[in-house]
């Protein structure tokens, strides 16, 4: 690369990832094949529209790329229609609102501070500013309050309900949510961005066939590039024509929302990289990987609870842990900083009914997808739990944190990033 400044920064980031423990649960390490597709000449091609219906010439190759990505997603998730063009998760969710609701309509989602996502109705987000957003919460125990949600649905009768989470450590009961949505005839949208890889591995129940629409990013547990897909069932027709808001017309409504509704040309290099990741996710090795993520998370949760850490819901069923540090007299931001200095990357996070503000919360969120990608298993979780505890206890002592960082750096040499040799 001739741009030495950028090259040096890229290499610095590679070293940071290689020499530390990436434990933010929304992050992962992609394969060399995914990276190769993402850095390909496909980025040069403009292709507004859909395969066979483009506004530009010369799209015969990228048509095949997009069709391959769509077909792989259909087979992997068991749906009849997929749109692979959303630039990322938030635009994908925006497209669902665009397709199924009008500004001012009542919508519902899990409140951000209780584990939801900002596009599920946060008041400062488009989803909370353009729509009448009603937010549901977890109970005091950290579990989703399905009964409370049902009462809100009966009272407010939303047109659209988003379900799914960014900081929820338990299995989601899709069928119960379907029953709740049916109380008022609402469209049910499952955002499985965090757990998509677990779903295809059979390590978490799938919402397909229960929710009306399923959205997901492709870069978390699915281990692909940054991007998103929208999935549904129904009969697609020409997305350039208007369609009534019925479940039968969901494919057309979704496609029309992406283009001409919200986006221009898709990122063809991103589409190709998604296709590669979907192929990888269809293998027996990936299914084992998904189950190992959960085994690692549960093991790590047990080891931390043995050391006196207060985990929301007292454990986990998926890939992440949410830790309330109140009993440790520690702020989430301080823990994030201490762990970072020790070579362990996590993020500060609110916990249910947090008494502290969002930018200075009581908890941290951490997970096992990236560690599992590098080949770590339960034995390694024992050591990592010990380092986490020591780093948090050593907050304020740069010498002790530097010592831990050195041990982490030596430890990870046995677990190279994908495509790297030991």
**Full domain range(s) for residue 380:** 284-414
> Residue 421's pLDDT is what?
74
Out of 235, 251, 281, a domain closes at: 281
> CATH number of the domain that 367 lies in?
3.90.1150.10
| Residue 241 forms part of a structural domain | yes
Half-sphere exposure (Cβ direction) of 140: Cα atoms closer than 13 Å: 0
pTM value? 0.96
- Tell me, yes or no, whether 202 lies in a domain: yes
Least confident of 9-13, 133-137, 231-235, 374-378: 231-235
Could you report the per-residue pLDDT of 267-304, keeping only the tens digit for each?
A: 999 999 999 999 999 999 999 999 999 999 999 999 99
Asked if 195 and 318 count as a contact pair (C-beta separation under 8 A), the reply is yes
Q: Which of 266, 281, 296 is the last residue of a domain?
A: 281
The pLDDT of residue 411 is: 98
Q: How many angstroms separate the CA atoms of 115 and 112, rounded?
A: 5
Are 158 and 260 found together in one domain?
A: yes
| Percentage of the residues of the chain whose pLDDT score is greater than 70 | 99
Write the DSSP assignment of 56-115 as a string of letters. SSS-HHHHHHHHHHHHHHHHHHT-SEEE---SSHHHHHHHHHHHH--TT-EEEEE-GGGT
Which H or E run contains 280? helix 268-281
Residues marked as catalytic: 46, 48, 191, 217, 220, 226
Same domain, 239 and 118: yes
Residues 195 and 67 in one domain: yes
What total of structural domains would you count in the chain? 2
Inter-residue contact 361 to 334 (CB < 8 Å): no
Structure confidence at residue 242 as a pLDDT band (50, 70, 90): confident
Please check whether residues 220 and 136 belong to one and the same domain: yes
From 248, 281, 314, the end of a domain falls on: 281
């Amino acid at each position: 690369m001739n741009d030495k400044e950028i090259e040096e920064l890229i290499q610095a980031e590679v070293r940071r990832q290689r020499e530390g423990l990436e434990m933010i649960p929304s992050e992962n390490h992609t394969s060399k094949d995914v990276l190769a597709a993402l850095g390909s000449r496909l980025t040069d091609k403009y292709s507004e529209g859909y395969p066979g219906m483009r506004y530009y010439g010369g799209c015969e190759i990228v048509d095949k790329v997009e069709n391959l990505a769509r077909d792989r997603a259909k087979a992997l998730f068991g749906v009849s229609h997929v749109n692979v063009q959303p630039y990322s998760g938030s635009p994908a969710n925006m497209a669902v609102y665009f397709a199924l609701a009008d500004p001012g309509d009542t919508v519902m989602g899990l409140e951000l501070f209780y584990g939801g996502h900002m596009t599920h109705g946060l008041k400062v987000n488009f989803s909370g500013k353009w729509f009448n957003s009603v937010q549901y919460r977890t109970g005091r125990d950290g579990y989703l309050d399905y009964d409370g949600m049902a009462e809100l649905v009966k009272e407010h009768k939303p047109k659209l309900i988003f379900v799914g989470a960014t900081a929820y450590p338990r299995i989601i009961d899709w069928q119960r949510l379907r029953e709740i949505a049916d109380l008022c005839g609402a469209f049910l949208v499952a955002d499985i961005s965090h757990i998509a890889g677990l779903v295809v591995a059979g390590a978490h129940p799938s919402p397909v066939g229960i929710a009306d629409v399923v959205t997901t990013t492709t870069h978390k547990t699915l281990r692909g590039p940054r991007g998103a897909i929208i999935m549904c069932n129904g009969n697609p027709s020409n997305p350039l024509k208007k369609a009534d808001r019925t479940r039968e017309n969901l494919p057309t409504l979704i496609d029309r929302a992406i283009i001409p509704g919200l986006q221009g040309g898709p990122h063809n290099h991103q589409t190709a990289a998604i296709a590669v990741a979907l192929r990888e996710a269809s293998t027996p090795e990936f299914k084992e990987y998904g189950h190992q993520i959960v085994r690692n998370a549960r093991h790590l949760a047990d080891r931390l609870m043995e050391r006196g850490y207060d985990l929301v819901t007292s454990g986990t069923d998926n890939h992440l842990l949410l830790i309330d540090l109140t009993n440790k007299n520690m702020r989430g931001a301080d823990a994030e900083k201490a762990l970072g200095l020790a070579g362990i990357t996590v993020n500060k996070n609110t916990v249910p009914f947090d008494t502290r503000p969002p930018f200075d919360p009581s908890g941290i969120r951490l997970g096992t997808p990236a560690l599992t990608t590098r080949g770590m298993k339960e034995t390694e979780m024992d050591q990592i739990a010990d380092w986490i505890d020591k780093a948090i206890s050593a907050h304020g002592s740069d010498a002790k944190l530097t010592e831990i960082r050195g041990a982490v750096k030596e430890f990870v040499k046995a677990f190279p990033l994908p495509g790297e040799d030991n």
